[in-house]
Amino acid sequence: MWAILSILVENKPGILFKVTHLFRSRNFNIDSISVGTTQNPEFSKMTITTIGDEKQIEQIVKQLDKMIDTIEVKRLDDKKTVYRELVLFRVKVSKASDTMEINNIANSFGARIHDARKDSIMLELTATPDQIDNLQELLSKYEILDIAKTGVAALQRGGD
Amino acid sequence: METISGARALMKALEKEGVKEVFGLPGGANLPMYDELYKSNIRHILVRHEQSAAHMADGFGRVSRKAGVCFATSGPGATNIITGLATAQADSSPMVAITGQVPVNMIGRDAFQESDIIGIANPVVKYSFQPRHASEIPTVVKKGFYIAETGRPGAVLIDIPKDVQQNEAPMEFPEEVKIRGYRPWTDPDVTAIEKAIELLLSSSKPVILAGGGVIISGAFAELQSLAEMLMIPVVTTFKGKGAFQETHPLSVGPIGMHGHAEANKIMTEADCVLAIGTRFSDRSVGKFEEFERNLKIIHLDVDPAEIGKNQTTSIAVVGDVKASLRIFVRLLLQKATKKSDHNVWFEHVTEVKEYWKQNLKLHPGELSAAKILRKLREVLPHQSIVTTEVGQHQMWASLFYDVIHPGTFFSSTGLGTMGWGFPAAIGAKAARPDLPVVDIAGDGSFNMTENSLATSVLDNLPVIVFLVNNNTLGMVAQWQRTFYDRRMIGVDQKRCPDYVKLAESYGAQGIRVGNLEELGNAIKTGLKSDVATVIDIPIDPEEDVLPFVAPGTSLKDMILPS
């Protein structure tokens, strides 16, 4: 099971370390993580996606909640949540027709092209992790030279 | 607002918390603190190794239920307390450890005696602080004690860079602190308690499982009232040993790997358990899936993260267990519910207890584990405090030393730290100088912190070391005999050292005994002594701790003496 956790924490040094350390020491998985400041300079927000069975995820939420530096821990319902990740791919261009094909794939996903060169193209996509996986699968045909992902950012629709 | 140094502010803040003594050892990075300690009214108890300072603070904290305080310098001084922090945290013991650190501008430069103690300690503390400005110290200390002592207690580390100790700043001492991410207590859910009572009343074989939480919250009277009102037998975890008077007709004793045979038997027969302040450790419940099979679990705990961690619960009540138990008792009084003492289950429990009292085979020797520990019980005043080390002697203490006055038995149960019992006993003595304190020790464990004899003698904290001496790392030896076909390795202590001479060399007294009468006399001598007394009790190195539930198996599968 895949779960999105939204964790409001004190905006202080060392908190990211403590949160990730908790995952390691309790034998939980981090699938992706993103951290940023919020509208309130005293808080930061971490969005962690994780994989585990129902019982494990319940434990993760409880253990995170128990941490003194966490203000609020929410498990977001993915059906009621907008969640997006940004990814950058650098894809190898071996022959002239590749450029056209990669452009077509990019268009079909709404991905943007950056830094198009003779031997490689960079693509940018903001989408759900599933859509990103699909794009990656299609691009793998052309040899992916490099990937960078931001981790998921998520907000529940209509506030709480 | 007065302008004083960080170190001076630290002492003032400790005094405001009511701290009368600290256990510690000075070094380069905490000299400013020690200089202010010199000028303060706080007593310093000098240790010979920082690990022992942490264990003393831990023992002090468990007995007084106020955070014990230890001091260590930076680098190795700080890393030496890690085992102590981990031990206290594993057993939810309130402790505040204060370490020196290299000056702020040297942090991260691999300075002499620098260690990233905040990073190293993170997984074994409840919380840690590293104030970067002297002015933060009063608030940090206030928060540190608040976190250590409230909710589920634990270990707090305050790491203070040397320049932060030296710098002067205007100081404001808060009367109280609020930490927005910290909610130590929840009010118990009365509806859940009503349901729990219904479940208990409708069960035919209910059992109370009392854990360490009962001792931590001091809920002895509430537990006893509840058990007596409903006539429910009480088993405990090992950590909960002594949460309930063990000579009480409803007491069945500790369950677990080396639990009492009758307790494991009754626990596995039960259809409903009221588990109070326990985390269902593997050592207590055996195989998790087996334990919860055919068992309805009502779980009371202050820590919501413990609910459902190891066991599936039918009803959970989050909150201080003392507050929860009070509601149980109040509701039962309103309903005027009282079970008659002639119920079939209670009669059965009594029969099972009697059976094992008659039929558990014991070692025949004059100085067998059962005989020496029963002798200790016979001679010791009921209010005496007992600590243990870790190993066979610890489990024999669990089996054969009955706690009569609740909350007088303490052991490193979670982390299982050999060497804990002796310094913890010294810490306990500092907390309660009016009571006799005994460390039930094994030779292997005592070796690890025996240099605390110096502290005991020089700081006038006399305790008795009841040394169950088989010249062996006995528990490991037992496992090698049981599971490794007697391939004995690394367990023979070869009669080294001579404990009588060792004790005497520190100015303590050492007494070697050869029979039970001498043992009784030695305990009496120790009770009257102004210095520590080490009683060397030679036992058969082949004596096993039985019954024994092998790791990963069910409480049903006890190995019994043949």
Tell me if B180 and A70 make a contact (CB, 8 A cut-off).
no
**Catalytic hit among B56, B95, B475, B558:** B475
Residue B167: its H or E element: none
Exposure of B60 by Cβ count < 10 A (0-12 exposed, 13-18 middle, 19+ buried)?
Answer: buried
| ipTM reported for the complex, 2 dp | 0.90
pLDDT at residue B340, rounded to an integer: 64
What is the rounded distance in angstroms from the CA atom of residue A29 to the CA atom of residue B227? 43
**Catalytic hit among B15, B39, B112, B517:** B112
Residues of A with Cβ-Cβ distance to B182 under 8 angstroms: 68
Residue located via tokens 């089996």: B399
Chain A residue with Cα closest to B180:
A71
β B68-72/B21-24 pair status: parallel
Cβ contact A25:A58 at 8 Å: no
* B261-284 pLDDT, tens digit each: 999 999 999 999 999 999 999 999
What mean pLDDT is predicted for residues A42-68?
A: 95
Q: Give the Cα-Cα-Cα angle B258, B216, B450 (nearest 5 degrees).
A: 60
Query: Chains A, B: CB contacts under 8 A, how many?
Result: 35
Cβ contact B105:B167 at 8 Å: no
Cβ contact B199:B29 at 8 Å: no
Residues of A with Cβ-Cβ distance to B123 under 8 angstroms: 21, 25
Residues counted in chain A: 160
Tell me if A10 and B123 make a contact (CB, 8 A cut-off).
no
Q: Two tokens at B219?
A: 């809920």
Interface test with B, best of A68, A69, A73 (most B CBs within 10 A): A68
pLDDT at residue B105, rounded to an integer: 97
Of B123, B147, B307, the CB nearest to A21: B123
Chain-centre distance for alpha carbon B366: 30
3-state SS track over B342-400: CCHHHHHHHHHHHHHHHHCCCCCCCCCHHHHHHHHHHHCCCCCEEEECCCHHHHHHHHH
Residue A22 CB contacts under 8 Å (≥ 6 apart), including other chains: A28, A63, A64, A67
DSSP state, A157? T
> Is B112 a catalytic site residue?
yes
What are the φ/ψ torsions at residue B521 (nearest 5 degrees)?
-65, -40
Stretch(es) of chain B classified as CATH 3.40.50.970 = 2-171, 364-542
Cβ contact B227:B234 at 8 Å: yes
Chain A residue with Cα closest to B147:
A68
> Is B265 a catalytic site residue?
no
Largest Cα span, chain A: 57
Q: Which residues of A touch B (CB under 8 A)?
A: 9-10, 14, 17-18, 21, 25, 55, 58-59, 62-63, 65-71
Q: Two tokens at B290?
A: 């087996």
For A2-76, CATH number out of 3.60.20.10, 2.40.50.140, 3.30.70.260, 3.40.50.10420 equals: 3.30.70.260
Cβ contact B43:B21 at 8 Å: yes
CB environment B249-261: b (16+ within 10 A), e (fewer): ebbbbbbbbbbbb
Tell me if A14 and B181 make a contact (CB, 8 A cut-off).
no
> Is B15 a catalytic site residue?
no
Q: Two tokens at A72?
A: 């609020």
| B501 in reach of chain A (CB within 8 A) | no
Return the CATH superfamily for domain B2-171.
Thiamin diphosphate (ThDP)-binding fold, Pyr/PP domains (3.40.50.970)
What mean pLDDT is predicted for residues A23-40?
A: 94
First to last CA, chain A: 23
Residue B69: its H or E element: strand B68-72
Percent of chain B, pLDDT > 90?
A: 94
User: At what angle are helices B516-528 and B369-379 packed, to 10 degrees?
Assistant: 40
β B437-442/B385-388 pair status: parallel
pLDDT at residue B423, rounded to an integer: 98
Closest chain A C-alpha to B130 CA, distance in angstroms:
11
What is the rounded distance in angstroms from the CA atom of residue B41 to the CA atom of residue B19? 10
pLDDT at residue A160, rounded to an integer: 56
Residues of A with Cβ-Cβ distance to B180 under 8 angstroms: 71
Of A21, A59, A65, the CB nearest to B122: A21
Cβ contact B115:B146 at 8 Å: no
Residues of B with Cβ-Cβ distance to A67 under 8 angstroms: 181
For A82-156, CATH number out of 2.40.30.10, 1.10.10.410, 1.10.20.10, 3.30.70.1150 equals: 3.30.70.1150
What is the rounded distance in angstroms from the CA atom of residue B163 to the CA atom of residue B149? 28
Chain-centre distance for alpha carbon B265: 25
Residue B46: its H or E element: strand B43-46
What is the rounded distance in angstroms from the CA atom of residue B292 to the CA atom of residue B313? 9
Chain B residue with Cα closest to A72:
B181
Chain A residue with Cα closest to B185:
A66
β B168-171/B548-549 pair status: unpaired
The model's pTM: 0.95
Of B119, B179, B304, the CB nearest to A62: B304
pLDDT at residue B1, rounded to an integer: 85
Q: Do domains A2-76 and A82-156 have the same CATH topology?
A: yes
Asked if the B364-542 domain carries CATH number 3.40.50.970, the reply is yes
Cβ contact B177:B142 at 8 Å: yes
DSSP state, A78? G
Q: Across chain A, how many H-helices and E-strands are there? A: 4, 8
Cβ contact B273:B209 at 8 Å: yes
Q: Two tokens at B265?
A: 């038997």
Domain boundaries, chain A: 2-76, 82-156
What is the rounded distance in angstroms from the CA atom of residue B318 to the CA atom of residue B214? 14
> Is B475 a catalytic site residue?
yes
Q: Two tokens at B79?
A: 């890393």
HSE (side-chain half, CA atoms, 13 Å) at B5: 18
B153 prior amide bond cis, ω within 30: no
3-state SS, residue A38: coil
- Which B residues 174-233 touch A at CB under 8 Å? 179-182
Which residues does chain B have with pLDDT short of 50?
Answer: none
Closest chain B C-alpha to A5 CA, distance in angstroms:
17
- Which B residues 113-132 touch A at CB under 8 Å? 118-119, 122-123, 126-127
3-state SS, residue A32: strand
What are the φ/ψ torsions at residue B337 (nearest 5 degrees)?
-85, 125
pLDDT at residue A158, rounded to an integer: 85
Residue B67: its H or E element: none
For B190-358, CATH number out of 1.10.630.10, 3.40.228.10, 3.40.50.1220, 3.40.50.2000 equals: 3.40.50.1220
CB environment B97-109: b (16+ within 10 A), e (fewer): bbbbbbbbebbee
Tell me if B304 and A67 make a contact (CB, 8 A cut-off).
no
* B97-116 pLDDT, tens digit each: 999 999 999 999 999 999 99
Residue located via tokens 């791919």: A89
pLDDT at residue B185, rounded to an integer: 84
